[in-house]
Amino acid sequence: MSTIRDLLKDAMKDEVKVLVYVIRHFLSAGKLNYDDPADKLNDVIANATDEDNQVIGELMEQNPLGIDEIHVYAMKIENGRFAFVFARNEEEATHFFCRVFQQWPKNCHQYPMDFPMAVGFRFRSFRELKREHDEFPALAGIYERENTPPQQKKGWGNEKVH
């Protein structure tokens, strides 16, 4: 059975800001313990007071842990060619794409941060690739489908673009 400790650990790993601060508040208020079953959080949230909500809101705003929810978006450049962009939201990713590629993306889809991508001869998750960047939005890389004609292939680039 999953515990509050497990839930908090996953929330920290996945950078789910609201969940981290909700759990943190209820732990410090004594309404949760690390070894409580994870589903107890639902009951605690259902019985949250206005004061609880205010404190959680302040934690979210102050963000003392510096949690920055960054997502990855696949944006189609042209047939068989995609840019992966790290950004806080789809709008930020689209503006970044337009600035870098001087065109609107043909489409935009959010990908899971743990999605594996082939980089050279190994697989890396977007979460791993994100650690190589200090500023966001940022270009995670360019992906080209295998069936793209050779003259159009440019490979995976994980260089930072500003």
Sign of CA dihedral 147, 151, 152, 158: positive
Mean pLDDT to the nearest integer, 86-100 = 96
Asked if residue 154 has pLDDT above 60, the reply is no
Is the entire prediction scored with pTM above 0.85?
no
What confidence score (pLDDT) does residue 91 get?
Answer: 97
Mean pLDDT of 131-148: 86
What ranges in the chain are assigned the alpha helix state H? Answer: 4-13, 17-28, 40-46, 50-62, 90-101, 126-130
pLDDT tens profile 55-80: 999 999 999 998 888 999 999 999 98
Residue with tokens 């515990």: 3
The secondary structure of residue 48, as a DSSP letter, is -
